[in-house]
Structure 1
Amino acid sequence: MAQQLPVEGIPKAVLLPRKAQPLYGRHPWALHSAFDKIDSSAADGDVVQLVGDHGRFVAYGVVNRKSRINARLYSWNVDEPLTDDFWKRKLAAAIDGRRQLGLFHENAGCRLVYSEADGLSGLIVDYFAGHVVLQVNALAMEKRLDVIVAALNELIAPKSISMRGEAGVQKAEGITIEPQVLQGEVPSEPIFISENGIEFELDLSGGQKTGFYLDQRENRVAAARYFSGRRVLDMFCYSGGFSLAAAKLGGASEVIGIDGSDRAIELARRNAERNGITNARFESVDAFDHLKTLVDAGEKFDAVILDPPKFTKTRRNINEALKAYYHVNRQGVALLNPGGILVTCSCSGNVSRDDFQMTLLGVAQKSGRDIQILEQRSAAIDHPTLITCPETQYLKCFICRVE
């Protein structure tokens, strides 16, 4: 490929020697430690062109000096600047991809845009039966909200568009996003989405959580295949995704769902009732305490599902997170009859797949139980992994047989 030279009229962000290579390799984050200087004419939120120390064009990005990620990169082609049309093309490509996968339909729940994986670092777009929820996690996207909303209207004409943010990410970016409705009217009554023949209730007016996790869609079906005739314990069940799949799709004899949120458990019960599911029941108790209670009581199950919340958001706390995963999985294994199925998940992006597997190795060794990994799975197909940004692969789901 011929060397691309910078263009006139766009502020430059000059990289230090030997810092450009990962960015030539199309990783979308340029950290503050990578830069020699950024033109003072570029305000935070403006487009800059990254330039290597030898003067070669690297990429177009958006600068944010308040963030550890000083620039998020979006285009590596000098002839493809970050215009309004560029953002619309990116959104259209992401949405068309979901259409091709058969995920985007009237009653669907799907992720239309998954941040870096769709070339739109800092933006998540979720679709719920005609309503769109944006999660804005970068200054670059906050500054272009009008363009994003206009493009979504043109591309899919949603019934409503609302916006939310994640507090920790906002703090790191130096932005403030208040939950708000940007367009249309968010229904005050619950709406319903259909997933694998099961209907789930969602409350889009209920603040930060939509009451559903789209990333486990295919994993719920995969796990259900192992549950025929089995007594299943679903820990951290939230609104009952795995539980209802186990009961309705998997033919489990009994499913017990446990979660510490009263609201989530009420939602799970309504979901079960709506789908005519009678072989699942739900309890609102602290899941961590209840695991110990079940072990101490000598309870046994034929299958245990462990899908706990994120145990760490930073690399600094990985060791503590791994201890927590070990503790939860050690108890989960203790509850299994020989030949039982363990479905164990980690949504902590800073915990690698290898680290998670080594945690299970420790459980096997300390418990004296053989653990066979039958399937290693990731997030649903509307949460793809961008090969040049491994950080986009965060979810681990292991389906195991425990002797």
Structure 2
Amino acid sequence: MNMPSSLPVVRLKPKANARAIRHGFPWVYDNELVTDRRTKGLAPGTLAVLEDDKRQPMGLVATNSKSRIFCRMLDRNVGASIDQTWFAAKFTKALQMRERLYETPFYRLIHAEADGLPGVVVDRFGATAVVQPNAAWADALLEPMVAALVEVTGVSNVIKNGSGRARGLEGLEEDSAVLIGTAPAAPVPVVMNGATYMADLTGGQKTGLFYDQRPNHGFAASLCKDAKVLDVFSHVGGFSLAALAGGAAEATAVDGSAAALELAFSGAAAAGVEDRFSTRKGDAFDVLTALNEEGARFDVVICDPPAFAPSKPALEKGLRAYERVARLAAPLVTEGGYLGLCSCSHAADVTRFRGASLRGIGRAGRQAQLIHTGYAGPDHPLMPQLAESGYLKSLFFRL
């Protein structure tokens, strides 16, 4: 067992916000700690006891001197042993909720801090789980973590997706591999909201599919009966395939990736709606501009771009990009039609994102009613103390 005396100690500065940490905030930034040669010399992923400035223990943390987030809270019990049993308890708690929510084993199983595993994402695709260890401690303890994942869920295959911006911020190299079993030889079909999506678990974006938009796909589909639909930044057909399942007359998916559009078409074919589905490859801004020049009109237009504001320094530039999306998309919507605008930028809160969207709609000469605001599905729980865990916003307007 890791007793406090056997672990290194890191200590908060007197002016650090110890109250926030006691009330559940899971991070300690590098400028909040007393840092000396010993502290800075801790290997990334080292476990330590966090103390306040009065030397009172606050919890067991994972450290990373190479990251702006120096400490991530793992357990309020400083005597906890971070082993397979500890991981199994976390997975069991997470699995119980997902099994209550979903009838089939296709969901986000672990949503990082909100599920008690800081920096860790696990998406489940039936018998295969894709793990993103985006923090140094998770990389170091990957073996007991994966053993617990198999023990609790019974999955046959575990894939490590070691890519992405988050790992770079932790000073981690890109490293992807099959850890248990084999990788699926073909894209995995995933049924959501009556649509079939094809998830490429090894060559696709992130873990292969974005589960977070599931409820927003469903809401959008409710607007699409007999409609002509445009899905911009579509990836593998997120909104367009849901629209067709909801009875859309036709849907067009726009994306810059030919591979993603091929998967989208495969999903349409699997659902038997390929005759009402078309794709258009190209830069989304260029395609929106071209469609305006062509005089195209759609009953429903939905834009789900990548994170234009992934950090606070990028916020203003990102908000201008969201405004531009709205300005180019709004003229394509028929009178009385619907415009859906999405943001996965945690730095742009819903108020700032809504303001940018409305500026774009106004600059396009349109007036809007906001009819629905959507967030990530319940398999992406929000940690109330950590605003970053509530990154996804989807706004639906009637123009």
How much is the aligned-residue C-alpha RMSD, in angstroms? Answer: 1.9
Query: 2:229 aligned to 222, 232, 248, which one?
Result: 232
Q: CA deviation at 1:80?
A: 4.2
The reply to whether residue 50 of structure 1 matches residue 43 of structure 2 is no
Report Cα offsets for 1:56-107 as digits up to 9, x if no partner.
Answer: 222210111111111111222346454442222112211222112125x3xx
| Residue 257 (structure 2) aligns with | 261
Q: Distance in 2 between matches of 1:137 and 1:15?
A: 24
Deviation sequence 1:340-372 (CA, Å, 0-9, x none): 101110111211111101112312432332211
Q: Aligned pair in 2 of structure 1 residues 147, 332: CA closer, same or farther (>3 Å)?
A: same
Alignment of 1:4-403 (within 5 A): 7-19=4-16, 20-37=18-35, 40=39, 43-78=43-78, 80=80, 82-102=82-102, 105=104, 108-206=105-203, 209-249=206-246, 251-277=247-273, 278-402=275-399
Deviates more, 1:130-139 or 1:353-362: 353-362
SS across alignment from 2:6: coil
* Contact 1:60–1:81 under 8 Å retained in 2: no
Contact 2:199 2:209 in 1 (8 A): yes
SS of the residue corresponding to residue 223 of structure 1 reads helix
Residues 65 and 192 of structure 1: CA distance in aligned 2, closer, same or farther (over 3 Å): same
Q: Deviations over 1:298-331 (max 9, x none)?
A: 2211110111122132211111111111111111
**Per-residue deviation, residues 369-393 of structure 1 (Å, max 9, x unmatched):** 2211111111111111111111101
2:96 maps to a residue whose letter is D
Q: What is the identity, as a one-letter code, of the residue corresponding to 2:269? A: E
Q: Distance in 1 between matches of 2:237 and 2:43?
A: 46
Partner SS for 1:227: coil
The Cα of 1:7 is off from its aligned counterpart by 4.5
Q: Structure 1 counterpart of 2:177, which letter?
A: Q
**Distance in 2 between the 1:306 and 1:18 partners?**
43
C-alpha contact (below 8 Å) 1:137/1:169 kept by paired residues? yes
Tell me by how many angstroms 1:42 deviates: 5.1
Secondary structure of the equivalent of 1:8? Answer: helix
- TM-superposed deviation, 1:281: 1.5
3-state SS in 2 of match to 1:18? coil
SS in 2 for 1:358: helix
TM-score, normalised relative to structure 2: 0.93
- How far the C-alpha of 1:284 sits from its partner, in A, is 1.7
- Cα distance, 1:204 vs. partner? 2.3
Q: Distance in 2 between matches of 1:364 and 1:161?
A: 44
Tell whether the 8 Å contact from 2:88 to 2:151 is kept in structure 1 after alignment: no
User: What are structure 2's unaligned runs of at least 5 residues?
Assistant: none
Alpha-carbon contact 2:85-2:148 (below 8 Å) kept: no
Matching residue's letter, 1:390: A
Counterpart Cα distance in 2 of 1:188 and 1:338: 46
Cα contact 1:232–1:303 (8 A) shared by 2? yes
Shift of the 244–349 alpha-carbon distance from structure 1 to 2, 3 Å rule, reads same
1:133–1:161 Cα contact (<8 Å) kept? yes
Alignment length, in residue pairs?
393
| TM-score calculated relative to the size of structure 1 | 0.92
CA distance in 1: counterparts of 2:156 and 2:300, whole angstroms: 41
- Is contact 1:179–1:208 with CA below 8 Å preserved after alignment? no
CA distance in 1, matches of 2:156, 2:6: 40
Where does structure 1 lack aligned partners over 5 or more consecutive residues?
A: 1-5
Within 2, Cα distance between the matches of 1:209 and 1:393?
Answer: 18
CA contact (8 A) 2:339 2:396 kept: yes
Deviation at 1:206, TM superposition (A): 2.1
2: CA distance, partners of 1:222 / 1:254: 17
CA distance in 1, matches of 2:387, 2:262: 37
Q: Deviations over 1:246-286 (max 9, x none)?
A: 1122x222211111111111111111111111322112222
Quick check: 1:117–1:392 contact (8 Å CA) kept in 2? yes
Aligned with 2:20: secondary structure?
helix
- The whole-number CA distance in structure 2 between the counterparts of 1:198 and 1:300 is 24
User: Per-residue deviation at 1:210?
Assistant: 4.7
> Matches of 2:178 and 2:141 in 1, distance apart?
16
